[in-house]
């Protein structure tokens, strides 16, 4: 395609993105109350040292074998704890478990049911109930548009639920005033997921541990069609803020999403702004100094040059929770060897071949 | 086996030729360090570090960015999290010995994967036993730059008869090493060692030196053209010189060599005098005679005055020194160390003196072997500095000399060489291979290191970095008599020597 | 201008044989006479004036007669001990002559701060300054040289002579390589003249710092192989040195008071009978009258014993033909059938010394003083003592007692026994 076409495209797009009017944060949900975007809305993070520890929780999963009617996944959940830039060992294990989701037919419907197998018996208590991660295939919370959900999507939900459960049990290793940072928002979406969040919230409140969540990505908008975090960034640039800052953009008051939503910039040399959520009651109970303590702890953790402005604890948790491609092959091999040992390879293969054509096609193209 | 020990690192991969060890943070593993990994209950592997590199969980671009931020002044609020975990040192090591029940063998296995390693201690090296007979001390075992309290000895008989190469550039401690090993040899009086000393640094004329050894009176003899009290004068009578003494030292053409033979046959021990005086001899061309006169005058420092030969140099004489050569050779045969101060001599004169003495002892020992009595004699070794003067390929091509002869066949006759050189690469491979012990000191030149490594008794292909990083006093001993190349540190001579008691005989009566 | 005579290794009393003894004395007398004729200012004898510490008194008497003549001529005789005329355990003839004022020992030393300080003896007429170190057996004088205060000697002004009685390593002839010598570095530098002794071969040498080192050699023959060397033509005598503030001239003055003939015969390839016959035939053709004859027989007999060559008879025959003296050297003679112990060394003293050195190691003793070099020295001294003959007017009992006393003294046990 010609350069001229590209130029015309860019010029057209530029006209569509108009920053003259940043608008307001826009949320479809009436339970979310936005705050206006104004220059005086920025709060500079004052460097307030405290003894608060910061714990980061993340999970990871990968499918090992799959067919239209079953999916086997390897799941991991991990927590890393930091105090003033140093790693703290609290004796929390990295939890590993297999999840197997299979289709069943009853009441004239296809259900996706899941059972979980912990990697070690000591991990059992960190796992969600299998029945909680079993769904009607046309459950709206898992559907793909109007289509039935893919079974592997359902299979990966177990990991998400495990993160909440794991986090609520991990709180015992933290002290009052410490901060828990979940990877992603503190919003649930799947059926029954809210119960797990509730347990976590209650446990956090009980222990005085501040429950928060930080998202790498955000699909929030303003009333003028701009990305919300982009608009806040523009505002910050206009007033030339050189330090770390936070900007409360909205307050969400629903049961499954009871948070204060902030836009945060956690390192002055970074250009990235993230969505940071703090449990609403906890946020409101903190005075300004305490809020700065919380954010200072986060800022301290966001100084790593590999990704300035993003908490290193989340990079670390992701690295330990991630299931790498090398591991997929290894564990797949173990699973298949067990199938073979059972003498059921033929049976399993019949169903796996049903979606295997894609990988063959990909190989042909490559 | 040591019980509690501090972990220095952990095996994380690699292969036999290069095992990778991740260093525990703060441990500062060094090039040349000796590490130990337990193999099973009763054995352990000794590993030697031959390379170090950086390991990082952080991509290179991120590291460069971080460095750039710091360098350009943007590093406020930026620092690596978890630095010890994410940035670390990787050591490339090789197993050099497997010790089982106190016996060291060449290892043939990899260490168990992911096991911890620790620094070698004295107890791990207990197999370094002192040879029972006539040991020669070289120094202490070195691990990196750390010196362990483990002495390194080689059996003297093997050491001195199988030739030694000491490759070293200036300032690496070569003189100190030689002094230390000579000091050790003085203990025994069982090795005849001829030391050609071009810097007059071994005897200890004004400082602590070999003369201060308690057995110096018995086992040490010193020759100098300016001898201190009690030392011998280096003076050689011209009549004791033979034509073969000049082989490979003074360049002669075939006609010149033949002419010399004629003079020697005709005038016997007065051959030099007659050439220098220009005595005409049938069969010798006048021009050849003129050239020979000039060459002998130059190399011997002689001239003609009033029709008589006059020695201008202090070293050669027509009257004195008739028994010098015999005395030196007798001393060597008696197992004494003979130090010859050649600091005031020209290069050629020094080589000539060395050649004269060396010729005599070599052929005497050859004769004794023929008679079957050689085995009762102590081995003799000749220490020659700047060995390429006589052992380089170029020099040998011009004509063999006694040193190259000894290098090739001296072992049969219990005569050895200790060749000290900055340039190993110019010495022919065959000679280098015959030098069965190499005490390698630091060398910056890559070509030289290659030459040393290529001819070593052990596989030193990974030691290049180690050799280039050797500091003063540090060395690697590679010998066919050791299980592996031993890193050593030679203590300062001043620290191991001590002044002898001053002679004080109250009962002395002089009449 | 002044003159002095330098001689050494006179070895008066070395010879028992009357002819040689006379020649020995004659040589000495000739030398003294020449000194008087030449009006030398002093005579310096650098050791081994006499062959033993207590020589035959007849010899001493004759020597003394001549020395008194020299003294009357106003010529002092300066002396140091040699290795032969020194007795550690008793008074030697040198001491007596020194006490009598006929000669003067020039070794004056003091021990200061662990160093041997030598004082000069100044010759009153010439102002020449003399210093020296006497010899000891087995070259043990090296111990004194090691602690000699060289600096004070070197810094002394004036015309200086250093007398010593030792072989110097730098001037050792090749055939004497086994001999005990000192390195010249022991001697103080910068003297005008180094009057050496002990080496029975004439030589004049020079090395940096030592401009003139002179060994006169024996005056007559000394002993052992000297006779052979002399008969073969070696010049014997002494040196006359002319000097003022420095040396002006050095001249060798030969003493030749006999005619000699040397004949060498090789028996190789013959049996003893054949050799004896042929040897006699050869001798018959020699002109021997009035000569000192040195016969050297060497080689290996194919058969028969070496004693089959009747050397006594040979000697007798030569004497009948009026040879002055016959010396037979058969150390190189051997027989295939009969072999004897080979000891390297051609004269008695060297043979003795070598034997002692070779065997000292096999002597099992607990005392360190009896081992090694020291042991050899003590053994040598004891031999010397025990070799002494009965003196005139000495009874056997007295002789035995003297032997015991001197022996105990050598062993350092005199006091212990006296206490008992």
CATH number, position B185 = 3.40.50.300
The mean per-residue pLDDT over the stretch C287-300 comes to 91
Positions of E strands within chain A? 25-26, 32-34, 43-44, 54-67, 70-83, 86-88, 95-106, 109-118, 135-136, 179-183, 210-215, 221-222, 245-254, 257-265, 274-279
CA distances from C196 to B491, C209, C240 (A): 46, 16, 14
Tens digits of residue pLDDT in C318-373: 999 999 989 888 888 888 876 555 555 556 666 777 777 766 766 667 676 777 77
Compute, in degrees rounded to 10, the torsion defined by CA atoms A154, A160, A165, A171. 180
> Do residue A306 and residue B79 have CB atoms under 8 angstroms apart?
no
Per DSSP, what are the bridge partners of residue B43?
A: B100
Which secondary-structure segment (H or E) carries C285? none
* pLDDT recorded at residue C137: 61
Q: What's the average model confidence in pLDDT over C63-79?
A: 95
Q: For B196-208, what is the mean pLDDT?
A: 93
Q: Is B195 in the same domain as B258?
A: no
- Do B and C share at least 3 CB pairs under 8 Å? yes
Which ranges of B195-234 would DSSP assign to H, the alpha helix? 216-219
A289 within domain boundaries: yes
Give buried/exposed letters for B464-491 (b at 16+ CB in 10 A, else e): bebbebbeebbbbbbbeebbbbbbbbbe
Torsion of CA A225, A226, A232, A238, to 10 degrees: -110
Do B364 and B296 belong together in one domain?
no
* Percent of chain B surpassing pLDDT 90: 62
Q: Quick check: is A186 in a domain? A: yes
Which of C265, C331, C334 minimizes the C-alpha distance to C295? C265
Query: Cβ distance B390 to B404 under 8 Å?
Result: yes
Question: What does residue A286 show for φ and ψ, rounded to 5 degrees?
Answer: -90, 140
Q: Which position among C6, C15, C84, C327 bears the catalytic label?
A: C84
Residue B20 confidence (pLDDT): 96
Same domain, B423 and B379: yes
User: What pLDDT, on a 0 to 100 scale, did the predictor assign at position C83?
Assistant: 82
The residue of chain B nearest to residue C132, with distances taken between CA atoms, is B511
Does residue B362 have a pLDDT over 80?
A: yes
DSSP-based three-state secondary structure for B412: helix
pLDDT of residue B504 exceeding 70, the answer is no
- Enclosing domain of residue B448: 139-222+335-496
At residue A286, the pLDDT reads: 95
- Mean pLDDT value of segment C219-230: 79
Contacts of B59 (CB under 8 A, 6+ apart): A306
The count of other CB atoms within 10 Å of the CB of residue A4 is 8
Cα separation, A63 vs B87, whole angstroms: 32
Q: What is the pLDDT of residue B463?
A: 86
Alpha carbons C172 and C178: distance in angstroms, whole number: 9
| pLDDT score recorded for residue B59 | 87
Distance (Å, whole) CA A201 – CA A211: 7
Q: Are residues B243 and B376 in the same domain?
A: no
- Closest to C201 (Cα-Cα) out of C192, C185, C214, C210: C214
Rounded mean pLDDT of B150-172? 92
Question: Subunits touching A (CB < 8 Å, at least 3 pairs)?
Answer: B
Instruction: Determine the average pLDDT of the residues in C296-315.
Output: 87
Nearest to B166 by CA among B157, B156, B177: B177
* pLDDT tens column, B373-383: 998 899 999 99
Q: How many domains would you assign to chain B?
A: 3
CA angle, corner C165, sides to C162 and C166, nearest 5? 110
- Kindly state whether residue B509 falls inside one of the protein's structural domains: no
Q: What is the pLDDT of residues A192-217, one digit of tens each?
A: 899 999 999 999 999 999 999 999 88
Q: At what angle do helices C272-284 and C311-320 cross, to 10 degrees?
A: 10
Instruction: Give percent of chain C with pLDDT exceeding 70.
Output: 90
Q: How much of chain A, in percent, has pLDDT values that exceed 70?
A: 96
Alpha helices by DSSP H, C50-179: 57-72, 93-99, 142-146, 150-155
Confidence (pLDDT) at B69: 83
Residues 54-113 of C with CB under 8 A from B: 81, 86, 88, 105, 107, 109, 111
What stretch of H or E contains C292? strand C291-301
Structural contact between residues A101 and A110, judged by C-beta atoms closer than 8 angstroms: no
As a whole number of angstroms, the distance between CA C280 and CA C145 comes to 52
Q: Which of B233, B241, B503 to mutate to test the interface with C (most CBs of C within 10 A)?
A: B233
A352 Cβ neighbours under 8 A, 6+ residues apart: A65, A66, A67
pLDDT at res. C348 = 67
Q: Is residue B321, in this structure, part of any structural domain at all?
A: no
Secondary structure (H, E, C), B358-371:
HHHHHHHHHHHHHH
Given CA atoms B356, B359, B364, B367 in this order, what sign does their dihedral have?
negative
In chain A, how many domains are there?
A: 2
Judge if A342 and A221 occupy the same domain: no
Distance separating alpha carbons of residues B254 and B260, to the nearest angstrom: 10
Supply C189's token pair. 């530098």
Beta strands B302-305; B220-224: pairing state: unpaired
Residue A39 is assigned to a structural domain of this protein:
no
Average pLDDT over residues B15-33: 93
- Where does chain C hold its CATH 3.60.21.10 domain(s)? 2-254
Q: Say whether B39 sits in a helix, a strand or coil.
A: coil
Residue B455 CB partners (closer than 8 Å, separation 6+): B424, B429, B432, B433, B435, B438
Least confident span in A100-109, A161-170, B172-181: A100-109
Query: Are B95 and B147 in the same domain?
Result: no
Is the pLDDT reported for residue B421 higher than 80? yes
Domain that holds residue A160: 44-321
Q: CB–CB of B227 and C114 under 8 A? A: no
Closest CB to C174: pick one of B228, B229, B323.
B323
Q: Convert the pLDDT of each residue in C152-173 to its tens digit.
A: 999 999 999 999 999 999 998 8
**Rounded Cα–Cα distance for residues C153 and A16 (Å):** 114
Q: Are residues A273 and A349 in the same domain?
A: no
Q: Chain B contacts of A267, Cβ < 8 Å? A: 77-78
- Min mean pLDDT across A332-336, B281-285, C12-16, C76-80 is at C12-16
| Residue A166 contacts residue A197 (beta carbons within 8 Å) | no
Considering the domain architecture, whether residues B254 and B308 belong to the same structural domain is answered as yes
Cβ–Cβ < 8 Å for B359, B402: yes
Which residues between 137 and 166 in chain C have a beta carbon less than 8 angstroms from any beta carbon of chain B?
A: 142-148, 150
**Predicted local distance difference test score (pLDDT) of residue B510:** 47
3-state secondary structure of C260: strand
Whole-number Å distance between alpha carbons of A340 and A331: 14
ipTM, two decimals: 0.82
Same domain, B156 and B78: no
- The pLDDT, as a whole number, for residue C411 is 82
On whether both B397 and B436 belong to a single domain, the answer is yes
What is the reported pLDDT for C21?
A: 87
Q: Give the number of beta-carbon pairs within 8 Å between A and B.
A: 43
B65 close contact with A: CB closer than 8 A: yes
Helix, strand, or coil (residue B102): coil
In chain A, what are the helix, strand and coil shares in percent, each to the nearest 5?
40, 30, 35
Q: Is-contact C43 C76, C-beta < 8 A?
A: yes
CATH number of C2-254: 3.60.21.10
Q: Of the candidates B65, B82, B85, which has its C-beta nearest A305's C-beta? A: B65
pLDDT, position A355? 56
- The separation between the first and the last C-alpha atoms of chain A, rounded to the nearest angstrom, is 23
Report the DSSP pairing between strands C129-133 and C160-164.
Answer: parallel
Same domain, B489 and B382: yes
Residue A30 lies in a domain: no
Both B356 and B389 in one domain: the answer is yes
Phi, psi of B293 (to 5 degrees): -60, -45
> What count of other Cβ atoms lies within 10 Å of the Cβ of residue C366?
6
Contact B62 A301 (CB under 8 A): no
Do A303 and B78 lie within an 8 Å CB cutoff?
yes
Domain match, B371 and B459 both: yes
CA-based nearest residue in chain B for residue C86: B511
Give the up-direction half-sphere exposure of residue B197: CA atoms within 13 A in the CB hemisphere. 28
Q: Over the range B263-279, which residues count as b (16 or more CB within 10 Å of their CB) and which as e?
A: bbeeeeebbbbbbbeee
For helices C18-37 and C57-72, angle between their N-to-C axes, nearest 10 degrees: 10
**Cβ pair A127, A97 in contact under 8 A:** yes
Residues A7, A3: Cα–Cα separation, whole Å: 6
Specify the higher pLDDT residue, A353 or C187.
Answer: C187
CA atoms within 13 A on the CB side of C147: 21
pLDDT of residue B503: 46
B160 to B63, B194, B414: CA distances (angstroms): 54, 11, 8
DSSP B428: -
Region A37-63: mean pLDDT is 94
Cα dihedral C42, C46, C48, C50 in deg (nearest 10): 10
Comparing C-alpha atoms, which of C70, C75, C78 is closest to residue C32?
Answer: C70
Helix locations, B87-137, DSSP H: none
pLDDT single digits (tens) B35-72: 999 987 789 999 999 999 999 988 898 888 888 888 99
State yes or no: pLDDT of B511 exceeds 50: no
Phi, psi angle pair for B356, to nearest 5° = -60, -50
Helix or strand or coil: residue B195?
strand
Angle between helices C372-387 and C396-411 (to 10 degrees): 170
Q: Do A268 and B82 touch (CB under 8 A)?
A: no
pLDDT at B501 over 50: no
pLDDT value, residue B188 = 84
In-domain check, residue A187: yes
Residues B171, B302, single domain; the answer is no
Report the share of chain A in percent with pLDDT over 90: 60
Q: What is the pLDDT of residue B508?
A: 46
Contact A305 B76 (CB under 8 A): no
Cα→Cα distances C18→A200, B112, C14, C219, C314, Å = 135, 97, 11, 17, 19
Best residue in B73, B77, B85, B86 for a mutation probing chain A (most A CBs within 10 Å): B77
Residue among B232, B240, B509 minimizing CB distance to C169: B232
Mean pLDDT, all residues of chain B: 89
Identify the CATH number of the domain in which residue A109 sits: 3.30.2170
Q: How far apart are CA B246 and CA B401, in angstroms?
A: 8
Q: Shortest CA distance to B398 belongs to which of B242, B291, B249?
A: B249
Give the nearest chain B residue to C95 (CA atoms): B511
Range scoring the smallest mean pLDDT among A114-123, B237-246, C405-414: C405-414
């Amino acid at each position: 395609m010609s350069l001229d076409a590209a130029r015309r495209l860019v010029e057209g797009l530029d006209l569509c993105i108009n920053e003259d009017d940043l608008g307001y944060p826009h949320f479809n949900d009436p339970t979310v109350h936005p705050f206006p975007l104004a220059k005086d809305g920025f709060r500079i993070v004052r460097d307030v040292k405290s003894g608060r520890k910061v714990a980061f929780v993340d999970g990871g999963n990968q499918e090992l074998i799959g067919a239209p009617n079953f999916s086997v996944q390897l799941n991991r959940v991990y927590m890393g704890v930091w105090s003033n830039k140093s790693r703290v060992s609290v004796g929390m294990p990295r939890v590993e478990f297999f999840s197997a989701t299979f289709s069943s037919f009853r009441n004239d419907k296809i259900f996706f049911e899941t059972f979980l197998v912990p990697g070690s018996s000591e991990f059992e208590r960190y796992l969600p109930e299998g029945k909680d991660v079993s769904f009607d295939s046309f459950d709206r919370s898992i559907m793909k548009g109007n289509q039935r959900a893919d079974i592997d999507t359902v299979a990966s939900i177990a990991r998400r639920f495990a993160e909440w459960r794991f986090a609520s049990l991990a709180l015992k290793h933290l002290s009052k005033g410490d901060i828990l940072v979940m990877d992603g928002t503190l919003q649930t979406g799947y059926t029954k997921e809210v119960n797990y969040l509730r347990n976590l919230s209650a446990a956090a409140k009980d222990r005085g541990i501040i429950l928060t969540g930080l998202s790498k990505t955000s699909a929030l908008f303003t009333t003028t069609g701009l990305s919300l975090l982009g608009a806040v960034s523009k505002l910050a640039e206009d007033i030339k803020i050189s330090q770390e800052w936070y900007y409360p953009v909205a307050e969400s008051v629903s049961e499954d999403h009871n948070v204060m939503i902030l836009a945060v910039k956690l390192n002055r040399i970074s250009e990235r702004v993230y969505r940071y959520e703090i449990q609403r009651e906890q946020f409101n109970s903190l005075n300004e100094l305490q809020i700065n303590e919380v954010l200072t702890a986060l800022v301290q953790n966001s100084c790593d040059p590999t990704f300035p402005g993003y908490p290193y604890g989340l990079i670390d948790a992701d690295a330990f929770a991630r299931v790498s491609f090398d591991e997929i092959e290894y564990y797949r091999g173990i699973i298949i060897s067990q199938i073979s040992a059972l003498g059921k390879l033929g049976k399993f293969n019949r169903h796996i071949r049903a979606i295997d054509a894609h990988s063959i096609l990909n190989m042909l193209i490559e | 086996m040591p019980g509690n020990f501090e972990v220095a690192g952990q095996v994380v991969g690699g292969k036999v030729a290069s095992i990778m060890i991740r260093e525990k943070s703060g441990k500062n593993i060094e090039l040349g360090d000796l590490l130990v990994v337990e193999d099973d209950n009763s054995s352990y592997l000794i590993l030697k570090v031959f390379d170090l590199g950086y390991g990082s969980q952080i991509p290179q671009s991120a590291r460069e960015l971080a460095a750039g931020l710091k360098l350009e002044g943007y590093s406020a609020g930026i620092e690596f999290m978890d630095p010890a975990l994410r940035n670390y040192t990787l050591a490339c090591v090789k197993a050099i010995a497997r010790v089982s029940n106190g016996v060291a063998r060449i290892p043939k296995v990899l260490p168990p994967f992911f096991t911890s390693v620790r620094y070698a201690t004295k107890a791990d090296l207990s197999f370094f036993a002192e040879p029972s007979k006539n040991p020669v001390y070289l120094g202490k075992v070195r691990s990196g730059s750390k010196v362990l309290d483990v002495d390194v000895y080689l059996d003297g008989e093997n050491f001195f008869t199988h030739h030694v190469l000491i490759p070293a550039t200036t300032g690496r401690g070569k003189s100190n090493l030689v002094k230390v090993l000579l000091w050790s040899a003085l203990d025994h009086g069982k090795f005849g060692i001829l030391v050609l000393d071009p810097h007059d640094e071994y005897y200890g004329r004004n400082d602590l030196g070999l003369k201060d050894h308690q057995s110096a009176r018995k086992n040490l003899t010193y020759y100098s053209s300016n001898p201190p009290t009690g030392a011998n004068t280096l003076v050689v009578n011209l009549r004791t010189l033979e034509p073969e003494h000049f082989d490979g030292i003074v360049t002669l053409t075939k006609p010149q060599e033949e002419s010399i033979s004629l003079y020697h046959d005709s005038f016997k021990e007065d051959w030099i005098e007659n050439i220098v005086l220009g005595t005409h001899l049938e069969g010798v061309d006048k021009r050849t005679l003129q050239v020979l006169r000039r060459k002998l005058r130059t190399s011997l420092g002689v001239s003609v005055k009033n029709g008589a030969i006059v020695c201008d140099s202090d070293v050669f004489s027509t009257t004195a020194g008739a028994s010098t050569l015999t005395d030196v050779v007798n001393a060597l045969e008696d197992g004494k160390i003979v130090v010859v101060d050649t600091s005031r001599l020209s290069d050629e004169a020094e080589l000539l003196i060395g050649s004269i003495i060396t010729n005599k002892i070599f052929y005497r020992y050859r004769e004794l072997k023929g008679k079957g009595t050689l085995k009762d004699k102590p081995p003799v070794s000749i220490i020659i500095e700047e060995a390429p003067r006589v052992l380089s390929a170029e020099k040998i091509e011009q004509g063999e000399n006694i040193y190259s002869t000894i290098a090739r066949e001296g072992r049969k006759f219990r005569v050895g060489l200790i060749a000290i050189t900055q340039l190993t690469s110019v010495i022919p491979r065959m000679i280098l291979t015959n030098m069965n012990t190499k005490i390698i000191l630091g060398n910056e030149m890559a070509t030289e290191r290659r030459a040393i490594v290529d001819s070593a008794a052990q596989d030193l292909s990974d030691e290049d970095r180690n050799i280039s990083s050797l500091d003063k006093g540090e060395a690697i001993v590679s010998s066919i008599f050791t299980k592996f190349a031993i890193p050593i540190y030679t203590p300062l001579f001043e620290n191991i020597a001590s002044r002898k008691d001053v002679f004080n005989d109250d009962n002395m009566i002089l009449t | 201008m002044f003159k002095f005579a330098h001689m050494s290794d006179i070895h008066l009393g070395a010879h028992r044989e009357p002819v040689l003894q006379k020649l020995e004395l004659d040589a000495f007398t000739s030398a003294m006479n020449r000194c008087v004729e030449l009006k030398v200012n002093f005579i310096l004898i650098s050791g081994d004036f006499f062959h033993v510490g207590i020589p035959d008194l007849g010899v001493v008497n004759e020597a003394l007669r001549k020395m008194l003549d020299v003294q009357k001529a106003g010529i002092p005789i300066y002396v140091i001990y040699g290795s032969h005329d020194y007795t550690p355990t008793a008074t030697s003839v040198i001491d007596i002559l020194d006490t009598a004022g006929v000669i003067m020992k020039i070794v004056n030393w003091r021990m200061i701060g662990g160093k041997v300080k030598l004082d000069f003896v100044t010759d009153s007429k010439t102002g020449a300054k003399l210093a020296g170190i006497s010899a000891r057996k087995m070259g043990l004088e090296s111990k004194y040289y090691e602690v000699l205060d060289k600096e004070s000697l070197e810094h002394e002004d004036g015309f200086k002579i250093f007398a010593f009685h030792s072989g110097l390593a730098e001037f050792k002839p090749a055939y004497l390589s086994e001999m005990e010598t000192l390195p010249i570095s022991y001697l103080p530098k910068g003297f005008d003249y180094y009057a050496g002794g002990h080496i029975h071969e004439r030589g004049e040498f020079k090395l940096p710092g030592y401009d003139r080192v002179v060994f006169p050699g024996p005056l007559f023959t000394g002993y052992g192989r000297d006779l052979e060397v002399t008969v073969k033509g070696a010049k014997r005598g002494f040196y006359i040195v002319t000097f003022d503030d420095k040396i002006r001239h050095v001249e060798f003055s030969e003493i030749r008071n006999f005619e000699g003939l040397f004949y060498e015969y090789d028996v190789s390839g013959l049996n003893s009978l054949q050799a004896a016959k042929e040897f006699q035939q050869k001798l018959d053709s020699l002109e021997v009258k009035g000569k000192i004859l040195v016969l050297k027989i060497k080689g290996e007999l194919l058969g028969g014993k070496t004693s089959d060559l009747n050397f006594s008879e040979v000697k007798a025959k030569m004497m009948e033909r009026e040879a002055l003296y016959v010396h037979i050297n058969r150390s190189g003679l051997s027989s295939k059938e009969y072999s004897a112990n080979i000891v390297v060394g051609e004269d008695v003293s060297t043979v003795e010394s070598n034997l002692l050195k070779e065997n000292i190691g096999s002597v099992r003793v607990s005392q360190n003083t009896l081992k090694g070099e020291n042991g050899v020295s003590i053994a040598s001294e004891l031999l010397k003592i025990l070799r002494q003959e009965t003196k005139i007017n000495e009874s056997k009992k007295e002789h035995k007692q003297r032997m015991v006393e001197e022996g105990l003294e050598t062993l350092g046990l005199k006091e212990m026994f006296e206490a008992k």
